[in-house]
Structure 1
Amino acid sequence: MASTLHSQPLALEDKSLAHLLYGLMACFPLFLVPAALSLLINFYQPQHHPDSALAVHLRWQRWSLVGMFTIMLIGYLVSSQWLSTTLYVAAAVWFIGRVFKGWLSLIEGRNI
């Protein structure tokens, strides 16, 4: 019984938390506050079975947010204006691509 509970397909799991977090991540241009809130909510979620669809999406979201914030921090610390701007734009484009890919995978019921 316990093994079938952890191996549920994505269609049977509650996807509302993942949708909420992807929605917050998609609002990142608003001073990065929604993305930071999404990261905090994500970190404080109870641990799920590592192979469950929800756990896979939460891990994808965490790495997307941490990666974006890291690249933006590096862009902030760089003294050259053109390099800093390039890093900000690259981080935003990369992050938007990951949000779309993750959210579409969630809607289609696929793991990432």
Structure 2
Amino acid sequence: MSMMPSHMLPVQQVEDNSLGHFLYGLMSAFPLFFIPVLLSLWLNLIQKNVNPHSVLGSHLRWQRMSIIGLCPFFIAGYFLSPLWLSLPVYILGISWFTYRIFKGWISLNDGIAV
């Protein structure tokens, strides 16, 4: 069994996921204000130097789809005029969005792509 010299060992690059954590933090502020979610979407969309096949790239895509997926719930809830019809749609949308934030953030913390 031969040992490789230390200068020939493969180099493993560590990806900085702090942007993903920051954007999940902004997304989680949606119950207080919807502005952080829009800011998160804008910051997400302007990221051009992130490899789409990396862990961070998969999380940025997950975040975009989460925010865009929340819009139909809000639009449907808005057009259902009686409160007893619109409230369950809003609650379902917010529950789904919250699940996506928790699942994504936990996966990012573990270094797993979604």
User: Which fold has the larger relative contact order, with Cα–Cα distance below 8 Å and residues 6 or more apart in sequence?
Assistant: 1
For 2:24, which of 14, 17, 22 is the aligned residue?
Answer: 22
Number of aligned residue pairs: 105
Moved over 4 A (4+): none
Q: CA RMSD in A?
A: 1.9
Overall identity of the aligned pairs, in %: 48
Unmatched tracts of structure 2, length 5 or more = 1-11
More helix by share: 1
For 2:64, which of 59, 62, 65 is the aligned residue?
Answer: 62
Deviations, residues 43-98 of structure 1 (Å, cap 9, x unaligned):
11115332111110000000001111221122112223212111110011111111
> Shift of residue 111 of structure 1?
0.8
Return the alpha-carbon distance in structure 2 between the equivalents of residues 69 and 36 of structure 1: 11
Tell me which structure has the larger Cα radius of gyration: 2
What's the TM-score, normalizing by structure 2?
0.84
For 1:13, which of 15, 20, 24 is the aligned residue?
Answer: 15
Unmatched tracts of structure 1, length 5 or more = 1-7
